[in-house]
A and B are shown apart, each in its own frame.
Chain A
Amino acid sequence: GAVVSQHPSRVICKSGTSVKIECRSLDFQATTMFWYRQFPKQSLMLMATSNEGSKATYEQGVEKDKFLINHASLTLSTLTVTSAHPEDSSFYICSAPQLRQGPYEQYFGPGTRLTVT
């Protein structure tokens, strides 16, 4: 299957600072990527759809100015958490669908654990 990587796997930052998380598709081109947030023992919550060369589409209730998404190339999307607060601490996961043919399953990155102190 296709491989999606995320960097860093873990990050600790101080309250008020910004942190950037990278999501890369390693062996396929991804014009679309998704960013999820997952709280402990809960399901994945879709935050936004990242589109190469255009603005991201945010889900209702997600602050676009706080969670900045940039999809600069066909293999890289970044999520920047700006002015981080302890309540932003969570597990963030990205994914990318294979678009060659149905059923267009998504391949997931290993996730990034963000801790804001």
Chain B
Amino acid sequence: AQTVTQSQPEMSVQEAETVTLSCTYDTSENNYYLFWYKQPPSRQMILVIRQEAYKQQNATENRFSVNFQKAAKSFSLKISDSQLGDTAMYFCAFMKHPTTGTYKYIFGTGTRLKVLA
């Protein structure tokens, strides 16, 4: 069975600084997808970034980038130039390729990030 681990329950960062959130996972699958979601106080889940396992290039979305290490089963999220609006709960999610027709996510326990003014 797949598992996703986020070892940092809480983190804080100064505004404009850079922070990295860690995520490790365990799977025997070779083809899968990884995601980072943000859940601000409104509790709306927002997709931050996604990565296909077959792509070696790390995904980037503006100030957000990932360090995807497939052999180490690691998928960390780097937030550059942190903004107050980045304050939220961040969840790492794993989904194996849906060859069997299932699109279920396995979520990590989350990291609560607070950006300080």
Tell whether B109 is near chain A: CB-to-CB under 8 Å: yes
Is B105 within 8 A of A111, CB to CB?
no
Contact of A97 among B103, B107, B112 (CB under 8 A): B103
Which residue of chain A has the shortest Cβ distance to B4 in the bound complex?
A43
Complex: how many Å from CA A108 to CA B89?
15
- By a CB distance below 8 angstroms, the chain B residues around A26 are none
Is A102 within 8 A of B52, CB to CB?
yes
0/1 string, B90-117, CB within 8 A of A gives 1:
0100010110001111011110100000
Most A Cβ at <10 Å: residue of B35, B43, B46, B112 = B43
Is A104 within 8 A of B98, CB to CB?
yes
- By a CB distance below 8 angstroms, the chain B residues around A43 are 91, 107-110
- By a CB distance below 8 angstroms, the chain B residues around A97 are 103
- By a CB distance below 8 angstroms, the chain B residues around A93 are 43, 45
Is B47 within 8 A of A105, CB to CB?
yes
Complex: how many Å from CA A42 to CA B98?
26
Is A46 within 8 A of B104, CB to CB?
yes
Is A106 within 8 A of B105, CB to CB?
yes
- By a CB distance below 8 angstroms, the chain A residues around B44 are 108, 110-111
Q: How far is the CB of A91 from chain B (nearest CB, A)?
A: 6
Is B43 within 8 A of A110, CB to CB?
yes
Is A106 within 8 A of B42, CB to CB?
no
10 residue pairs A–B, Cβ–Cβ below 8 Å: A34-B103, A42-B109, A43-B107, A43-B110, A95-B45, A97-B103, A102-B52, A103-B50, A104-B98, A106-B103
